[in-house]
Structure 1
Amino acid sequence: MSKAQKVVEPSADDILAAEAQIVSQSKRIEFYITEYSVEILAMKVRDGEYEVPAYQREYTWEDERKSRFIESLLMGLPIPFIFFWEMPDGRLEIVDGSQRLRTIEEFIFGGFRLGPLEQLTHVTGLTFKDLPQSRQRKILNRSIRGIILNEHADEAARFDMFARINTGSKIANTAEVRRGALIGPFLDMIIDLSTSQEFVAMTPMSTKSVREREREELVTRFFAYGDGLDDYRDRPSDFLFQYSRKMNETFKSDPALVDEYKRRFYATMKFVSQVFPNNFSKTARSSATPRARFESIAIGAASALVEDPAIASKTTAELGIADWIEDPGFIKVTNSDGANARSRLRDRIEFVRDKLVGKS
């Protein structure tokens, strides 16, 4: 702390206000801890007794991750808590843990065959029913702890818990966390744009990437980085989360912004599709849309259209794109080394902008 900074001692009223706020927020999260056997959990998933809310992910775990999780279960390693919300009708909504629960059900009742395992190599390739009955019983009897929020925990509290559990973790990717924790008009727009025919056609990617909402990630980056990097601190997940939270509130107070942002997006996509031969991909047959390449072209093009709207009517040849799209300079600014550093992010956006408006 510098000498110029003065410590302001809290007043008695400040302390009372702080305590009142803690009490108020604590009442939003009332919970109890319980334990369930693996058998009960698997049966409830199989019988559809658990509610999977809209903000939870689809079943996206690949076989390798499922197998690794089951290996941990078989070895008796600690399993993270499952978080539930007790609905007014007594059923339980899964706040966090749907991937684990569905993997357990698939192994116990769905005939899931384990892939290559790191420790239990002799178990590789087996199903639950292949195991000795004594081992089956031990697995079914194993307990997993759950935290149950009572019915007084409101929707906002559940979303907040989901975000705090998952932000910065590998359990859910950042697009999934934002979708889960930040439902609102801005996120609704992101989902709408990411599934539009035009955008899907311009952004080839694997089925796995689609299921993990990579297109939502790209659209969010388009707006967040395009609106300015002043608050960016080389941590994209934090920046995009805070930006999305802010824009949800902004859209609520000014609904007309939705149409304005959509116009910006579609105008940019139309321009890119007209003048960039492979859109955001490296080749015509590419099955991937690299993030750094997307950011440079999409946000650079949007910035260029603002600076010089006349380029919207120019052709690929008039813009000289073929002269630099394979240039070592462009390849350098769009490679993955240090891709999330603010300086690198700004460099790749400005590279495309300057080329399109004829500054370099």
Structure 2
Amino acid sequence: MTSNNDEKIEVSNNDEAAPLEELTSDSTGSGLEAEPLDDAGEIRAPFDPKLIDVITHQRTVDLLMARLGHGELNLSPDFQRRANLWSEARKSGLIESILLRIPIPSLYVSEDKDGNYEVVDGLQRLCAIAHFVRVSGLNKALNTKLAPLRLTGLQSLKNELDHKAFDDLPRPLHRRIMETELTLHVIRFGTPANVKFNIFSRINQGGLPLKAQEIRNAIYTAGKWREHVRRMAITKDFLSATEGKIKGERLEDHELVLRFAALFSLPSDEKRHPDENLEEFLNEFVDKRAVGWNDQKWQETEAAFDRAMKSAPRVFGRMAFRKYSKPNEARRPINRGLFETEAVALAQRPDIEINALAERSDQVIEKFGQKFSGDNDFANALLYATGKGWASNKRLEVINAIFEEVLHA
């Protein structure tokens, strides 16, 4: 995979040197500990190549803006958090490229049963174009109130066009922009969801690649899982337990909730397959197991989640969802694997045990620190291949063992 500076992650060869935190598009902390790049986006789900159905069209800017105005080019509520992220200077640079007749990279869209398009790759480019030539359509799609874009920071056309809006341009330049043809790769309606997920993962290698959760939200639309996950991610208890630190720009908060729901839904005597990766596990959950859940089942899951969120700070104190650090050390960012593990382990405990663990919180934290420094398998399950089944199983095994030791001390 390749990427540019649109998405930055602090990295270090020494995990103990300092807390590592993923950065958002504006270079502020996301609230989550960075995970190894080779643990994310692994593509290994096989499928029949004959099921791939992608066609290529040439479509003018004018046609795509008309689709946007009619609601036929879907920038998607599930992608709104990452829509329109470019600066005005970067947007202006794209418009300048169009005016200079420099080819624009291809766009990928997914087609629905009515022939409407949902953007897969190229969202920032389309937002930039719409902001300049059809801001009303962009505002309607994103429920925003943006003013028309005025070109800024131009290079070749600075003297002629700097600070001009679309309506300020002469008709020949209007025509040049609106008649520009963009290459559109269309993933046809009827392509199976698992095939779409694989295609999305492979093609999103550009400037701001989609995260797995963003792809999942776009593809697996059956059932009510997205509605319930979204609701769980804005509860007072979740925001309090995470201290409001999860920015969620790329649906990271949704993925945390989904990881809990998928793992909590497993029978108590069932473990994940050791070699199963996170995407397989979560996709199977939303595509098969959760698709038939009724409101009562979701309400039970939401209640368990809220209970875990209330309990985690009581039991783990300042270490809740974080790797162990000594009292005189800076806390680490929230660790995805520990969030999933501690939340599920607490949700599975009766109130009497949670109250006992909260009363002995110092013992829980002390034993957690001992395991973190003395159990290499546990430490590895928090650092390497954290989404793998073996790592998830190991984390749950250790946290539950700590609980048992404290409860029966």
TM-score, normalisation: structure 1: 0.66
**In structure 2, what is the equivalent of residue 248 of structure 1?**
290
Taking structure 1 as reference, are residues 103 and 261 closer, same or farther at Cα in structure 2, changes over 3 Å only? Answer: same
1:299 to 2:347 alignment:
no
Matches within 5 A, 1:315-326: 315-319=357-361, 320-326=363-369
Paired residue type of 1:41: L
Deviation string 1:262-294 (CA, Å, 9 cap, x unpaired) is 332223222213222133256999795321231
Matched, 1:212 2:257: no
Q: Deviations over 1:272-321 (max 9, x none)?
A: 13222133256999795321231332234345x27xx6422215452412
Alignment of 1:102-113 (within 5 A): 102-106=127-131, 110-111=148-149
Give yes or no for the alignment of 1:63 onto 2:86.
Answer: yes
Q: CA RMSD in A?
A: 4.8
**Which residue of 308, 318, 321 corresponds with 1:280?**
321
State how 1:80-159 maps to structure 2 within 5 Å. 80-85=107-112, 87=114, 92-94=116-118, 96=120, 99=123, 100-106=125-131, 110-111=148-149, 123=155, 129-130=161-162, 140-146=178-184
Question: Between Structure 1 and Structure 2, which shows a larger proportion of helix residues?
Answer: 1
Distance in 2 of aligned mates of 1:247 and 1:332: 30
Q: Deviations along 1:78-124, whole A, 9 cap, x unmatched?
A: 4134445584xxx9453645714213223556437789xxxxxx849
Q: What is the alpha-carbon distance in structure 2 between the residues aligned to residue 38 and residue 198 of structure 1?
A: 45
Other-structure match for 2:103: 76
Change (3 A) 1:123 1:346: farther
Where do 1:227-242 residues align within 5 Å? 227=266, 228-231=270-273, 233-242=275-284
Distance 1:86 1:73, change over 3 A: farther
Matched, 1:172 2:210: yes
Identical aligned residues as a percent: 14
Note the residue ranges of structure 2 that are not aligned, 5 or more in a row.
1-50, 135-147
1:203–1:288 CA contact under 8 A, matched in 2: no
Contact 2:368–2:402 (8 Å) recurs in 1: no
Rounded Cα–Cα distance in structure 1 between residues aligned with 2:59 and 2:214: 27
Give 2:317's aligned amino acid: P
Q: Secondary structure at the match of 2:293?
A: helix
**Cα gap change, 1:41 to 1:257, in 2 (>3 Å):** closer
Matched residue SS, 1:314: helix
Specify the SS of the correspondent of 2:64.
helix
Q: Which has the higher contact order (CA 8 A, sep 6+)?
A: 2
Counterpart of 2:103, as a letter, is G
Q: State the alpha-carbon separation in 1 of the partners of residues 278 and 152 from structure 2.
A: 35
Relative to structure 1, the CA distance from residue 73 to residue 83 in structure 2 (aligned partners, 3 Å threshold; closer, same or farther) is farther
Structure 1 stretch 236-245 or stretch 171-180: which is displaced more?
171-180
Q: 1:17-28 maps to which residues of 2 (within 5 A)?
A: none
Where structure 1 has 5 or more consecutive residues not aligned to the other structure, the ranges are 1-24, 116-121
Residues 67 and 73, structure 2, Cα contact 8 Å, conserved in 1: no
> 1:114·1:125 contact (CA, 8 Å) conserved in 2?
no
Structure with the greater alpha carbon radius of gyration: 1
SS of aligned partner of 1:210: coil
